[in-house]
Structure 1
């Protein structure tokens, strides 16, 4: 074993003893252009390589100077393949006396969660059933309003043995059926899974100055920022939230991403969607009628998307980075909604949001099987495993927006 490494450690020569590092040496390496990660007690310098990370530099950078072991295992299905890319980035390992995680984290919880994940792997719950998704695709082709569900799964899991075909399938569903970029969706959605409900890391909650959520409410109040009447945001949410997210925000963000990042294949897929849509409906309704239909469809699916996805997150804790372990961070940001055959279908199994966040590569048809195991883990460690009735979950979105708005007003008037 080598001595304690210097802060500027370089790549390790093959066969050479590994330098060791303490957490106090690792913590400073969380800057743009200077990023270290700890995975399975080994220290990696990803500063230059992060730009080539398939999931994007921002996603991997969110774990800078942290133990990213559980995130690494959660997002990568073929670990032996991915470790080949990590080997050239290896600069050392944690000193023997250093804990595996920095900060005051529950080591027993982390150990138990990793044991749970191993048990789930042994139960083969990460193996997808192609027949399930083939039937789902047929269903989606008949009801395109539900196609968000399939493209969501294709972005997370491997239905095909070759990941290349999995990505092609996602491009087809996302581009041809929905008119969006698969790369853009993965770029956005994987950040949400990596750091749910964390400002500036989860794009789903970084929505200021339009809406204020959680800790941002007090910050804006203290700084006397009043771009909108935030104490009434629970009312104007109905006007600009559910109706316009997909129609305006996603359309603009998606197009900008494809052009800036030069995702020409995705652009062609999206163009094929618009061509098919217009050619299908213009003969019946003309150009104005076809455009009106397009707007109506986007507004309807936007309502579905906002209510179904945010009932599990907006009412939960929203704030700045707290450097929790994987299980605790996901549980703090998510809750479940009581399952039923209708709700499982209607939400695309996103009512099992806790299981979906703990195991993002797990196919949805196995959420019910793993739920009792997750619930037992939470009971053992005194963690909240929150399950709500469907209508309660929807109403809680409005209550949470109102609470955040009142927090802003109080800070604005009295600070």
Structure 2
């Protein structure tokens, strides 16, 4: 049943809304004095009272004032509409209803139905079982080398490099499970996420979901996407430059970094790029630990905080128990330090190289631009697919990137198992070409050059701004 407030609101029946009424809640940034409207299938819902109970956490805040139809169905099972119905407040007026049966969005919706009939959304459990086994073999090789050769530098470095690769591959697998690509029962996916993400990799699943789901809802949207909110460490757009150097924003922007450090980081960010990537895993591990602590989400609105399960906390604890236990195989503290730094740096580099190719250097949108753009177009124009320069070596790119080299297809169909991406990719590309929507594919090296070029452009712009 709807909450009491909703029942009282609906005594006289649902209201009719103009689309502008919904958009105004976006313009007010969803403050606590106003309703927080979203639109799904031309029906209006006030989700303000639902945010604290939303399993996905604060990501729902990115949808306030928007038509969230495609975002809703891409991230939720069909039965979730029953939960959303509790917050129904009315319908769009007839003249504002979108009834078009043509266009890019409509064709993608139809293809999604076709893919479901072809069972593309049914994962191969054998495929994922062998992926998990292969990852555990990588871990075993790393630990075995460390146990046998933990008294010499080469053995420690080799073991650390393999451990970094293990963590990277666990990242891709936990990504798949936490996107609910594998099991129909979401609890099983979450448990595997706790194991692969928590126990194996050391990343808290709730921290990851909060960050990653928000990225999916608002990819490359300045002020919303946490994956590009990395300034001044790495600054990806001129929008961020104005935030950093605006004197009125100084109190907000320079709590952690003095202005001179921010200017230095931006000015030389192409030189700092690879060293920063090497530090990425350590940063994410610290963020994960802080997130699960009792006060770890104090920076979030009270109704947008995610409850942390005991299973998640235990999974992180177990990770650090086994990780620091294997240090006992190392003969000296100097070699132990080398193992720690090398394993963390290799993993950070291997993860971040792929992450950067997914979206960095692609178009960055303002919140206003994103507001006017349909969900699917936004996913396409901000994403970059990665292909092998030699088609015969595509399987290596697929393995190394964990399927995220099909970034555009993944963003359009986030619950689609990675072993099906190659089947839908030509269809999506053809559809984009039909509607003249930019669809970008490039090689690993060329994509990395594009990322560097974008960093360089922002550095040049910062010098002019200074």
Provide TM-score, normalisation by structure 1: 0.89
By how many angstroms is 1:12 displaced? Answer: 7.9
Match of 1:396 in 2: 450
Query: CA 1:290–1:272 in 2, change beyond 3 Å: closer, same or farther?
Result: farther
Match of 2:81 in 1: 83
2 CA distance for matches of 1:154 and 1:335? 22
CA distance change for structure 1 residues 11 and 354 in 2, over 3 Å: closer, same or farther? Answer: farther
Q: Does 1:308 align with 2:354?
A: yes
How big is the shift at 1:218? 4.8
Equivalent position of 1:26 in the other structure: 22
CA contact (8 A) 1:12 1:91 kept: no
- Count of paired positions: 396
Q: Cα gap change, 1:64/1:221 in structure 2, threshold over 3 Å: closer, same or farther?
A: closer
CA contact (8 A) 2:45 2:89 kept: yes
Within-5 A mapping of 1:4-403: 10-11=6-7, 17-30=13-26, 31-33=30-32, 34-56=35-57, 58-76=58-76, 78-79=77-78, 81-100=79-98, 108-143=103-138, 144-145=166-167, 146-220=169-243, 223=246, 227-229=262-264, 230-239=266-275, 241-247=276-282, 249-259=283-293, 260=296, 263=308, 264-285=310-331, 289-321=335-367, 322=369, 323=371, 324-339=373-388, 340-403=394-457
Report if aligned partners of 1:330, 1:357 keep a CA contact under 8 Å in 2: yes
**Residue 361 of structure 1: CA displacement?**
0.8
Runs of at least 5 residues in structure 1 that lack an aligned partner in the other structure: 1-8
Which consecutive residues of structure 2, in runs of 5 or more, have no partner in the other structure? 139-165, 248-258, 298-306, 389-393
Instruction: Kindly indicate whether the alpha-carbon contact (under 8 Å) linking 1:350 and 1:356 is maintained by their aligned counterparts in 2.
Output: yes
Change in Cα spacing, 1:220 to 1:89, as seen in structure 2 (3 Å) is closer
Q: 1:124–1:16: structure 2 CA closer, same or farther, 3 Å change rule?
A: farther
Residue 6 of structure 1 is matched in structure 2 by: none
Q: Note the aligned Cα RMSD (angstroms).
A: 2.3
Using the alignment, how far apart are the partners of 2:217 and 2:108 within structure 1?
A: 16
Structure 2 distance, partners of 1:16, 1:367, is 48
Residue 90 of structure 2: SS of its match in structure 1?
strand
SS of alignment partner, residue 97 of structure 1: helix
